[in-house]
């Protein structure tokens, strides 16, 4: 990773293994979720991260539901998400979580965070409920408490580019995120001259040629890192 003055870093599935927490919750409540999801059994974090779909429901949904009309499928997806919002997203999600290897080798590494080349680290993240927000803040306070590290909460329906501008950020030097929609948002919204976009290599976030061309055409670079 190159040294930049300001690092803008996503939290879930970058600094913490959020997907495994969600999958574990679903498995722990299988009697309820078995009506909708296929049983993939116990999976390793690597197997969960290798999924083809970012959305957990889209990945696990039973094949019989693919025969539904678009409207019916959307209604079902909303029903499942509503259940997750009321239950999973109101738990203390990050209580037993620990930072990822990537976090330990970068933001939590004293040689990195104390470097004069690192002016600031902005951890930018979206939350579904107030309970998730509170749990995440406790997690970040426990593991990422440093004068150079700041936390920027993104509104539930807010673009990360809009949140960054609201925060006073007008240019991007290094943006690290696992989700393609966020990478596309940043690539579309900011000048990327000499900017670096970094992504963990997961099954659901392979950049298509059009986005790669956009990033490089605006003077930026795109690299993946091995999350495991």
Domain match, 45 and 148 both? no
Q: How confident is the model at residue 228, as a pLDDT? A: 77
Quick one: tokens of 188? 């579309």
> Cα(218)–Cα(192) distance, rounded to whole angstroms?
5
The pLDDT, as a whole number, for residue 5 is 86
What tokens does 156 get?
Answer: 């539930």
Cα angle 150, 154, 157 (rounded to 5 degrees) comes to 175
CA-CA distance, 21 to 14, in Å (whole number)? 13
Question: Distance (Å, rounded) from C-alpha 137 to C-alpha 5?
Answer: 24
* 83 & 98 share domain: no
Secondary structure of 73-142 in the HEC alphabet?
HHHHHHHHHHHHHHCHHHCCCCCCCCECHHHHHCCCCHHHHCCCCCCEEEEEEECCCHHHHHHHHHHHHH
The reported pLDDT for the residue numbered 45 is 96
- 135 shares its domain with 207: yes
pLDDT digits (tens, 9 = 90+) for 96-139: 999 999 999 999 999 999 999 999 999 999 999 999 999 999 99
Enclosing domain of residue 144: 6-16+94-225
What pTM value is reported for the model?
0.94
For 100, 139, 144, 180, 189, the CA distances from 120, given in Å and listed in that order, are 20, 19, 13, 24, 21
Q: What is the CATH number of the domain that holds 198?
A: 3.40.50.720
206 belongs to a structural domain: yes
Same domain, 214 and 159: yes
Burial group, residue 65, by CB count within 10 angstroms (0-12, 13-18, 19+): middle
Residue 194, domain member (yes or no): yes
Task: Among 90, 107, 127, identify where a domain stops.
Answer: 90
Domain total of the chain: 2
One domain for residues 26 and 136: no
């Amino acid at each position: 990773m190159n040294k930049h003055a300001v690092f803008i870093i996503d939290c879930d599935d970058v600094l913490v293994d959020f997907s495994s927490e969600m999958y574990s919750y679903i498995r722990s409540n299988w009697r309820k979720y078995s009506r909708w999801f296929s049983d993939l059994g116990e999976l390793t974090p690597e197997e969960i991260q290798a999924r083809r779909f970012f959305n957990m429901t889209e990945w696990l949904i039973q094949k019989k539901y693919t025969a539904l009309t678009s409207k019916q499928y959307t209604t079902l997806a909303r029903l499942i998400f509503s259940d997750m919002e009321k239950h999973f997203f109101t738990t203390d999600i990050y209580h037993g979580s620990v930072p990822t290897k990537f976090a330990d080798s970068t933001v939590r590494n004293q040689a990195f965070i104390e470097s004069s080349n690192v002016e600031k680290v902005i951890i930018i993240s979206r939350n579904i409920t107030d309970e998730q927000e509170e749990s995440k803040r406790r997690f970040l306070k426990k593991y990422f408490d440093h004068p150079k590290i700041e936390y920027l909460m993104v509104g539930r329906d807010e673009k990360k580019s809009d949140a960054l501008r609201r925060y006073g950020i007008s240019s991007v030097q290094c943006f690290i995120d696992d989700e393609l929609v966020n990478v596309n948002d940043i690539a579309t919204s900011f000048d990327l001259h000499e900017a670096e976009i970094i992504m963990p290599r997961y099954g659901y976030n392979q950049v298509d040629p059009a986005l790669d061309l956009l990033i490089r055409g605006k003077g930026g670079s795109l690299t993946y890192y091995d999350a495991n």
